[in-house]
Amino acid sequence: MNTFTCYLPISRFRGYWCAILAAGIWLAFAVPLALHAQTGQLFVESIDVEGGQVTLIVAPTGESLLVDTGWPGDGGRSVERIMAAMRDANIKRIDHVLITHYHRDHVGGVPLLIHRVQISEFLDHGPNRDPGDADTRSGYQAYLDAIVGHTRRIVHPGDTIPLGGVSVVVLTADGEHISAVPGFAPAANPYCASERTWPADPTENARSVGILITYGKFKLLDLGDLTGQKEVALVCPRNPIGTVDLYLVTHHGMDLSNARAIVDAVHPRVAIMNNGAHKAGKPAAWQTVHDSPGLEDLWQLHTAEDTDAAHNSPEAFIANPKGAADGASLRVYAAPDGSFSVTNARTGWTRQYLRK
C-alpha cells in the first residue's frame, strides 16, 4: 500500500505539510504557511449533512464549486456546515452551485443558502422528471423560487464547468451520458459481461448530474445518486472515464447504485461514502466498493449503525462514529502530480496517498 500516515496536529493546512514531509523535503527558511497552502493544491471537503450530499471543491485559484446543498430545515444545519467549510477553504463566496437532482437531501439547502452566501450561478439538469412525488415536486419549486434573478444554466453530458484551471466535465445529466471524455480514449470494459440487469428507475436519482474533476493527474468522480441501470449504461460496453483517484461513493452507499461494472472499472484508489448514521451505507454497496481492484481505503462520514462491524471501516476512517458528535467532515488536498491526502476533521488524523 503506497501510503504515508501523518500525525501532525490538526490545522487547515495540515495536508500540505504532510505532503512535504512525505516527499522528504524540508524548508530551510521561514515562509508564511498560508501562502504555501494556497498554492497548487485542490481542496475538496465532503461535508456531513446527515445523509444528504454537500461537497465543496476549491481550485488553487480560489474559484469554487459546491455540489448540492443538503437538507432544508433542522435550524439551517446544512447551510451552517457549508459556511464552516467555506471558512476552512478561506473563501467568502461560491462561484458555481451544481444541483445533481431535486431530492430534498440535495437541493433543500438552496433557499437559505442564497440569503447567506453570494453565489454566481446555479447549474442543474433541467425540469424535474418526477413530478408525481410530492417531496420532490415541492423541493424543485422551492429551488426555482429561490433562484429567481440569479444565473441558471442547464447542463448536458459533455459540458464543462470553469474552475480555475481544474477540468470539470459533465458525464451524466437528465438520464443521458457522455460517450467520451476529451483526452481519453474509451476502452472495452471487461466487467460488463458479468454485470446483472438493473431495473429502470423513474425517479430523479436516474437524472443525476455526474461529473469528473481532473487536476493534473488527480481525478475525482461524483455521480450524485445515479442508479444502477444508468451507471452501467455509462461504462458499458466501453468505459469513457478510465480510472480515478477518488470516488465519492454514489447515492450515499445505497444498494440501488454502485454497480460492480462501474466501481471496478474506475479502480478508485480511495473512496469517500457520504452516508448518514441511519441512511444508506448498505452492506452490498459497501462490500462492492471495499473489494474494488486497487482500493487502498474506504472513508465514511458516519458509522452505518444499522449494519455490522464487518461492513464499516475502522473508526479512524469514519468522521462521525457511533456515539460521537455529528458534523465532522472529511477534507482532501490534491496536488497536480496525483498525490493527495485525506484528513478526518474529528481527530485531525491525515493519511497521505503518494503519487503513483
Do the beta carbons of residue 184 and residue 60 sit within 8 Å?
no
Domain ranges for the chain: 3-353
Close Cβ partners of 204 (under 8 Å, ≥ 6 residues apart): 101, 102, 103, 128, 129, 130, 133, 136, 225
Q: How far is Cα 53 from Cα 161, in angstroms, rounded to an integer? A: 19
Give residue for cell 465514511. Answer: 300
Condensed to tens digits (0 to 9), the pLDDT of residues 119-162 reads: 999 999 999 999 999 999 999 999 999 999 999 999 999 999 99
Close Cβ partners of 124 (under 8 Å, ≥ 6 residues apart): 98, 99, 102, 143, 152, 154, 155, 209
CATH number of the 3-353 domain: 3.60.15.10
Give residue for cell 495540515. Answer: 14
| Residue 113 burial (10 A CB sphere; 0-12, 13-18, 19+) | buried
Q: How far is Cα 266 from Cα 270, in angstroms, rounded to an integer? A: 11
Question: At 144, phi and psi to the nearest 5?
Answer: -60, -45
User: Is the pTM of the predicted complex or chain greater than 0.85?
Assistant: yes
Condensed to tens digits (0 to 9), the pLDDT of residues 54-76 reads: 999 999 999 999 999 999 988 89
Q: How far is Cα 158 from Cα 122, in angstroms, rounded to an integer? A: 17
- Residue 183 has a pLDDT of 87
Q: How far is Cα 111 from Cα 59, in angstroms, rounded to an integer? A: 25
Residue 125 C-alpha cell reads as: 439538469
Residue 18 host element (H or E):
helix 14-23
| Three-state SS at 140 | helix
Q: Which residues of the chain have pLDDT under 50?
A: 1, 4-5, 7-38
List the 151-154 sheet strands across, edge first: 3-6, 350-353, 340-344, 330-334, 42-46, 55-58, 64-67, 93-98, 118-124, 151-154
Q: Other C-beta atoms within 10 Å of 264: how many?
A: 22
Residue 263 C-alpha cell reads as: 466501481
Looking at the DSSP bridge assignments, the partners of residue 57 are: 44, 65
Closest CA to 95 of 14, 166, 177, 40: 166
Angstrom CA distances, 4 to 17, 21, 216, stand at: 12, 9, 21
- Residue 20 has a pLDDT of 42
- Residue 39 has a pLDDT of 57
